[in-house]
Structure 1
């Protein structure tokens, strides 16, 4: 059944006005998913050029949702995209937010500086959630100005299909806030996965990253091509995607940022930069990656 995406709805979580910081691959998806499920959404990025790219990404997502989700129409999803406000003014973007979801690049000092600014600008009652894939929320909590209202809310790429939302607090997170955010996740069509303690990589990436690292090592050693490594995994396990297909979906810039932060994977970071990122191949839907778009 087609959703009426022109109306807002009463929210049992109380989190109706959502601001997403960062409009990259996942940021744009989070913003669209929230708006698709009736939330009032503002997407923030640093400048007009980034917001222009964001509008293009939201337009593509409208087409994808209409094609992928039964009962949706292009007209409805186009209205969803158009309803998302875009802003490069952080104070304006977070002024009325009930929930701010941060999806800026995976760099600790950058995220800490963002939260220090948020602490100054956001309302006292606003909840902050990081979508960080690799950083523990406890590495950021002290600069948020509200550690009891701060936690991680982690989404997988293609969130309308791979609809897990991992909720992970710190020892300082208020249990009521934790449950409030878990309810919010359910309201936007996600399956909340409640983590009982902090875990680098959450559940999903704790399982996924060793696979991706093993595939990278095989490629760097010249053991086999990305296509044959992927084929082996798909045939041997019945999985729909191989590790290099997953890399393309995750985005090679994200893979590069993660690899750059680990001394053990500097060779992989350099390989990605020279062979893909410097050539404008950033992954699926962004110039191609290991596979052409």
Structure 2
């Protein structure tokens, strides 16, 4: 069985979804970006234009010659799910980190996508086994997780289930390489993969210090940066990620401490529209 991936649809055009779509298109693939309405797609177009500027600033190959701008213009935008996936070889799902929402989405995709289509979830923490039975094709389903700022921090964690076809797994590993990622092959399911198994406890520890009244975000970040030589602390990282994703992870946690952090994050930041860099303010203020 030869698996040829040329046409890729990315579901969700938030911070990471837009980056995945842009990097894939920049690497020469035919990309459609789907989101739920025209307002979301207008925001996506703005993100793609911003990514073109970021690639130029970071001196990505070809960016100085306008490749980023051409890439932004070439990505097809759609709010019609059936149209967006009707001829896809690979669908990368990057919608909010809510299990029921992902399960519902895969039930719809199972009916709309061609039988050949591979489904890949960019879920940060959820196991693919929790979604596979909703896909209608567990042998062609797996997780493909990217790190934020994909063109710079270019890992792609690949994690299947016991039912994932090894040839499908290898095809996705090869695809990750083809779009400039370093594939990280995970041998069995692990919530959080490798990256978030390390990252999430670090972020949560930082939030627990502030929520508990021990220190403010600036002090926590400064301590980490001075003590380790890292360029950023957990709160700058949270602002870049966007506070909605960690909130969803914490709110759906079975850990009472995680749920308490979710309530703190919601009442002090999310309910006030402080969602991170994307809204101009999170734990820090950005822009003019």
Taking the aligned partners of 2:271 and 2:219, their CA distance within structure 1 comes to 24
- Give 3-state SS (helix, strand or coil) of 2:239's partner: helix
Match of 2:17 among 10, 22, 27: 27
8 Å contact 2:242–2:275 — kept in the other structure?
yes
Deviation at 1:21, TM superposition (A): 0.4
Partner of 2:276: 283
Q: What is the total number of aligned residue pairs between the two structures?
A: 282
**TM-score between the two structures when normalised by the length of structure 1:** 0.93
Structure 1 partner of 2:167:
176
User: Which of residues 127, 141, 145 is equivalent to 2:132?
Assistant: 141
Q: Structure 1 residue 13: deviation in Å?
A: 6.3
Matching residue of 2:230 = 239
CA 1:40 to 1:70, structure 2 compared with 1: closer, same or farther past 3 Å?
closer
Cα contact 1:280–1:287 (8 A) shared by 2: no
2:259 is matched with which residue?
266
Residue in structure 2 matched with residue 222 of structure 1 by the alignment: 213
SS at match of 1:285: helix
The residue that corresponds to 2:112 in the other structure is 121
Task: Determine helix, strand or coil for the equivalent of 1:42.
Answer: strand
TM-score (norm 2): 0.95
TM-superposition CA deviations, 1:260-293 (whole Å, max 9, x none): 1123322221222222222222112332211112
Stretch deviating more after TM superposition (281-290 or 203-212): 281-290
Alignment RMSD: 1.3
Residue 285 of structure 2 aligns with which residue?
292
Q: Deviations over 1:112-161 (max 9, x none)?
A: 11000000000000000000011100000011011000000000111111
1:45 paired with 2:35, answer: yes
Match for residue 93 of structure 1 among 84, 88, 93: 84
Instruction: Work out the CA distance in 1 between the residues paired with 2:201 and 2:38.
Output: 37
Q: 3-state SS of the aligned residue for 2:274? A: coil
Structure 2, unpaired ranges of 5+: none
SS in structure 1 at match of 2:106? helix
Are the counterparts in 1 of residues 3 and 168 from structure 2 also a CA contact under 8 Å?
Answer: no
Q: 1:74 to 1:233 in 2, by over 3 A?
A: farther
**CA deviation after TM superposition for structure 1 residue 221, in Å:** 1.4
Map 1:34-73 to 2 at 5 A.
34-71=24-61, 72-73=63-64
Secondary structure in 2 aligned to 1:173?
coil
The DSSP-based 3-state class of the residue aligned with 2:107 is helix
The answer to whether the 8 A contact 2:242-2:278 is kept is: no
> What are the ranges of 5 or more consecutive residues in structure 1 without an aligned counterpart?
1-11
SS in 2 for 1:158: coil
